[in-house]
């Protein structure tokens, strides 16, 4: 639907950081820039939001990790340990951009030594016409409590995964699915709403960020529409 979506351009902040002639850290921060003839006011607001988030992350968190990387370098040299380069990588994925709605998620990866790094996912879904965020309850048309509906679907999908041989879940996953459920942890696709759990929420690190697609349905979660 021409005019009812955003044009998206990628912006990047990237640098290698050195200490005493050695590269101790690198970072790449990608964030979106939006253009629209129809919704330019919201596009400007979102551009400011995501640009500011990237800038603050670069100036505060990246700088703090750089200080840690320099200290780690000194410690490694003094103790004849291998020098481990810190890494920060942040990227976004646009998952839905039509019907007057925009949905995306952002993965932020940080490696600060040790066996592996960690990734945190966040997400936003926007109503372009009303210039505000869409909450999942805004799209739910069922009679059952929306959180109960989602959790029941997730538990059923996990049971199907386990039956199919995917056993990368903690034994008490049913309790953890409820305990760690966050209504804001979702994004939209053309097929339906995807809910996700962070690393370690319901499964070991090796399982990664677990995602669960709940397809659109008239008596469940419905696809956004332009009014």
The pLDDT value given to residue 1: 47
Is residue 210 assigned to a domain?
yes
Residue 58 and residue 122 in one domain? yes
Classify burial at 2, counting beta carbons within 10 Å of its beta carbon; exposed 0-12, middle 13-18, buried 19 or more: exposed
pLDDT at 75: 95
Place of tokens 């979102």: 46
- Is 180 found in the same domain as 166? yes
Residues 114 and 196 in one domain: no
For 32-86, the pLDDT digits (tens) are: 999 998 999 999 999 999 999 999 999 999 999 999 999 999 999 999 999 999 9
Is 69 found in the same domain as 24?
yes
Q: What is the pLDDT of residues 96-139, one digit of tens each?
A: 999 999 999 999 999 998 889 999 999 999 999 999 999 999 99
Quote the pTM value.
0.94
What the block records as the tokens of 71 is: 């200290």
Q: Look up the domain containing 172 and give its range.
A: 136-215
Helices (H), 94-170: 146-163
């Amino acid at each position: 639907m021409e005019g009812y979506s955003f044009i998206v351009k990628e912006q990047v902040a990237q640098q290698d950081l050195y200490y005493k002639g050695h590269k101790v850290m690198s970072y790449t921060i990608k964030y979106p820039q939006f253009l629209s003839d129809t919704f330019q006011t919201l596009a400007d607001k979102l551009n400011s939001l995501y640009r500011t988030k990237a800038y603050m992350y670069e100036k505060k968190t990246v700088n703090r990790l750089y200080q840690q990387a320099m200290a780690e370098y000194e410690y490694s040299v003094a103790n004849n340990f291998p020098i481990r380069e810190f890494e920060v990588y942040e990227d976004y994925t646009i998952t839905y951009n039509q019907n007057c709605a925009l949905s995306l998620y952002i993965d932020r990866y940080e490696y600060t030594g040790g066996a592996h790094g960690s990734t945190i996912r966040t997400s936003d879904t926007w109503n372009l016409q009303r210039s505000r965020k869409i909450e999942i309850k805004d799209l739910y048309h069922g009679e059952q409590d929306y959180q109960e509906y989602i959790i029941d679907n997730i538990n059923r999908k996990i049971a199907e995964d386990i039956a199919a041989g995917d056993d990368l879940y903690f034994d008490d996953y049913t309790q953890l699915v409820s305990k760690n459920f966050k209504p804001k942890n979702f994004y939209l696709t053309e097929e339906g709403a995807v809910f996700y759990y962070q690393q370690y929420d319901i499964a070991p690190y090796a399982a990664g960020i677990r995602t669960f697609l709940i397809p659109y349905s008239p008596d469940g979660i419905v696809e956004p529409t332009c009014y």
